[in-house]
Amino acid sequence: MESSLLKPKFHLDLWVSFTIQNWLLDFGRPIVMIILPLEWFPLNRPSAGDYFHMAYNIITPFLLLKLIERSPKTLPHSAVYLCIITFVMGASIHLVGDSINHRLLLSGYQLHLSVRENPIIKNLQPASLIDSFELLYYYDEKLGHSMWYVPFFLILFLYFTGCFTHIKEEKRMPLAAWFLLAPSAVYYWYLITEGQIFILFIFTFFAMTATVMHQKRKGFVPDSNGLFLLYSFSIALGLVSVWVACLWSDQVLRKKYRGVIYIPEPWAFYTLHIRDKGASA
């Protein structure tokens, strides 16, 4: 096997870069937008969070390409390029939709309600404006997320398929990897819940698990990078289970998330239980 010819090495620089930029530029961007004074970033101009998103859209594809370069296994170039192109387009679509949605949030938009049920939306005239906001929601939460996350997880899976070494040369995760494990897993939890991509995530996780079982029959096991991804996904799955269990009886959130898979978004929880209650207090 091609991946066994090279000595496994934990890509500490890339995983640290991923962790920092994920937490700062993705998870942190809506927080920065809320914290910074509105006077600094008028509602008709890009916010600090938008600039964070722009940086994310540039840095993340670069890091993904560097990750693929480090793979001991030669991966299909066409598939990688298509994934990167789709990722950038999806993240850019999301940038525009998310920017407007966060401005609506500052104006009283409630994320735990549907578009038509929101107090600042439902009385708009003409009524066709509501359709426009629903289209915006579709581009942001549906199309943008799909074109963003599907190639993202596909690239991670393609990379994972090359993260195997011979069982006699089994490598355990270094200490630095264990320190990165918690922030990495929590970020994946955030992606799953806020991005509403549980099905995509669980299919990726099952595919990774099946790959491990298949390679073990050949005498190969995950190297330190493969273990890092596998453990991160496993812990993230556990965090999602805890999150759902804690909010299982929340009737307001259940009204919005009516599908078979009930996984509330963290920002919907924020507008329902933190922002609105804080304002009323």
Sign of CA dihedral 49, 55, 61, 67: negative
pLDDT by 10s per residue, the chain, length 281: 444 445 568 999 999 999 999 999 999 988 888 888 878 888 888 889 899 999 999 999 999 999 999 988 888 889 999 999 999 999 999 999 888 888 887 777 887 788 888 888 888 888 888 888 889 889 988 899 999 999 999 999 999 999 998 866 556 889 999 999 999 999 999 999 999 999 999 999 999 999 999 999 998 999 999 999 999 999 999 999 999 999 999 988 988 888 788 999 998 898 888 876 655 44
DSSP 29: H
DSSP 220: E
Alpha helix ranges (H) inside the chain: 12-21, 28-35, 48-70, 77-106, 128-137, 145-160, 175-195, 198-217, 224-246, 251-256, 266-269, 276-280
Tell me the C-alpha to C-alpha distance, in Å, between residue 264 and each of 31, 95, 134: 18, 21, 19
Count of structural domains within the chain: 1
Token pair recorded at residue 205: 């996780």
pTM, full prediction: 0.88
Q: For the residues of 36-98, what is the DSSP string, one character each?
A: S-GGGS-TTS--HHHHHHHHHHHHHHHHHHHHHHH-SSPPPHHHHHHHHHHHHHHHHHHHHHH
Residue-range definition of the domain harbouring residue 133: 2-280
Closest alpha carbon to 155 in 222, 238, 66: 66
- Which residues are within 8 A (CB) of 26 and not within 5 positions of it... i.e. 6 or more apart? 52, 53, 56, 187, 190
DSSP 123: T
